[in-house]
Amino acid sequence: MKLFHRMMMLTLILCLVFGLGGCTQENSPSEPEQSSMQTVEPPEEPGTEPLTFESADLGISFDLPDSLRGHSKIMVGDRNAGEHRVDTVTVYYMESPERQEKDIHLLTVELWPAGAWDDSQSTGTPIGESADGRTAVLHTLQSNPFSEGDEEYELFQTLGSEIGVVSETFAFTNVG
């Protein structure tokens, strides 16, 4: 497991080094402004182990559909929601590392501070509450971005039903 964490850190560092090459990105009106981001890519090799996202810093873990193995990009960041800072984990479908302009937003897990979710006007599905009062909220893809007959259409029809694994396996890991 230590080797996996070291490989993830190395991947993260490489992504940050290459990602800081001066590119800018405009946020669409439907996507929240991200004040800080990190990219984490799950392992690509198929196996019997579930495709799991785990963050010791955020104190969470959850599984992803196996069909995303080798085709997912995960961005960890945060955003301001009024007077609160909300941590975010956003998962994108990635056709290939060479075609990042084709990345499609699949889901976002938001981690709201204690009491903040109850006072918010945000939408989403609560999927967990930690012992210290944080609330995890899941936002998923609302519709298939492809037209019937497109190559990716069937994949996204399947992903829609498989994304439930995120809420089924979500856990806060660092609160006693």
**pLDDT digit string (tens) for 1-44?**
444 444 444 444 444 334 433 333 333 334 444 445 555 554 44
Provide the terminal-to-terminal Cα distance of the chain, rounded to the nearest Å.
Answer: 22
In 20-101, which residue ranges form alpha helices assigned H by DSSP? none
Question: Model's pTM, two decimal places?
Answer: 0.69
- CA distances to 54, 75, 129 from 126, rounded to whole Å, are 19, 20, 8
User: Is position 147 within any domain?
Assistant: yes
Tell me how far apart the alpha carbons of residues 105 and 34 are, in angstroms, rounded to a whole number. 14
Q: Which domain holds residue 100?
A: 33-172
User: Is position 99 within any domain?
Assistant: yes
User: Is position 98 within any domain?
Assistant: yes
User: What contacts 24+ positions apart, CB below 8 Å, involve 121-127?
Assistant: 122/81, 125/167, 127/166, 127/167, 127/170
Domain count, the chain: 1
Per-residue pLDDT tens for 60-69? 999 999 988 8
Per-residue pLDDT tens for 56-93? 999 999 999 998 888 889 999 999 988 899 999 999 98
User: Is position 8 within any domain?
Assistant: no
User: Is position 12 within any domain?
Assistant: no
User: Is position 11 within any domain?
Assistant: no
DSSP code at position 174: S
